[in-house]
């Protein structure tokens, strides 16, 4: 079975399940997947049951959801499509990085494998999408950068922004306005008054980040 033979909903489930554990070791639950997908838990349970029957998922009642090897292959393929399309929209069509997720969500189900590979070649085989998320290779190898959450970063250490989560568009936009994007320099100064917030220097400018902004940023020591 190729990924194109799956329904759009099945493709979305597999992509969401894989993406949820890309930056966290904790498997996703039905409730969390329903929240992520914006549907009822009963709808997700039905979808998961069908994917288990197809051999793409493993799921014990009330337990976590795990991809089978075949499910992982399809999931990574969809992640690759999505992130290449996001990069294409930003790099060649001048979309803002806050706009591309929803467009890519639609396009990823419509384009052919050949189209995706032509985008990859046209872009020069990029390694990361506009938000810093790694783009899996054509043979399905993910390559997550050696990055840590900003909340765990030491103070007074020169850091480079590796990733900004696009899960919340408002947070993504606010972080971007502060100049915090993949490749930007960042230094933690001290914990801010806001619980979970940080006072930092972004480039040369002092900034105060809320807990939600901090949670969206991943960094690596320079």
Of 41-50, 138-147, 177-186, the least confident: 138-147
User: Is 80 exceeded by the pLDDT of residue 23?
Assistant: yes
Residue 119 structure tokens = 């985008």
**Residue 218 to residue 167: CA distance in whole angstroms:** 13
Supply the DSSP symbol for 221.
E
Q: How far does CA 36 lie from the centroid of its chain?
A: 12
Buried b or exposed e, range 73-93, using 16+ CB within 10 angstroms:
bbbbbbbbbbbbbbbbbbbee
**Residue 148 to residue 172: CA distance in whole angstroms:** 18
Q: Which three-class secondary structure state does DSSP give residue 217?
A: strand
Range of the domain at 166: 148-221
CATH of the domain at 21: 1.10.10.10
How many domains are contained in the chain? 2
Q: Which of 71, 95, 126 is the last residue of a domain?
A: 71
In a domain, 57, yes or no: yes
Q: Which of 17, 48, 71 is the last residue of a domain?
A: 71
Q: Can you give the three-state secondary structure of 130-175, one letter per residue?
A: CCCCECCCCCCCCCCCCCEEHHHCCCCCEEEEEEECCCCHHHHHHH
Which residues, in sequence order, are CB contacts of 138 under 8 Å at separation 6+? 80, 117, 120
Reported pTM: 0.91
What is the tens place of the pLDDT at every residue in 92-127? 999 999 999 999 999 999 999 999 999 999 999 999
Supply the DSSP symbol for 128.
B
In a domain, 208, yes or no: yes
**Residue 108 to residue 119: CA distance in whole angstroms:** 12
In a domain, 178, yes or no: yes
- pLDDT attached to residue 50: 95
The secondary structure of 46-78 as a DSSP string is: HHHHHHHHTTSEEE-TTS-EEE-HHHHHHHHHH
Contact 77, 117 (CB under 8 A): no
User: Is 70 exceeded by the pLDDT of residue 193?
Assistant: no
**Residue 114 to residue 119: CA distance in whole angstroms:** 9
């Amino acid at each position: 079975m190729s990924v194109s033979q799956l329904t759009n909903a099945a493709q979305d489930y597999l992509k969401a399940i894989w993406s949820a554990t890309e930056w966290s070791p904790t498997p996703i639950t039905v409730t969390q997947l329903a929240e992520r997908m914006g549907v009822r838990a009963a709808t997700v349970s039905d979808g998961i049951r069908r994917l288990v029957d197809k051999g793409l998922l493993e799921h014990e009642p009330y337990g976590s959801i795990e991809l089978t090897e075949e499910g992982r292959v399809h999931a990574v393929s969809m992640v690759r499509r999505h992130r290449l399309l996001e990069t294409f929209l930003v790099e060649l069509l001048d979309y803002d990085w806050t706009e591309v997720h929803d467009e890519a969500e639609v396009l990823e189900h419509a384009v052919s494998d050949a189209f995706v590979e032509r985008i990859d070649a046209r872009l020069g085989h990029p390694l990361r999408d506009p938000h810093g998320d790694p783009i899996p290779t054509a043979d399905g190898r993910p390559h997550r950068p050696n990055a840590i959450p900003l909340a765990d970063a030491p103070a007074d250490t020169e850091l480079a922004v590796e990733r900004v989560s696009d899960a919340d568009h408002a947070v993504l936009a606010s972080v971007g306005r502060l100049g915090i994007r993949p490749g930007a320099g960042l230094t933690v100064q001290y914990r801010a008054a806001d619980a979970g917030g940080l006072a930092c220097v972004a480039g040369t400018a002092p900034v105060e980040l809320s807990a939600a902004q901090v949670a969206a940023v991943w960094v690596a020591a320079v």
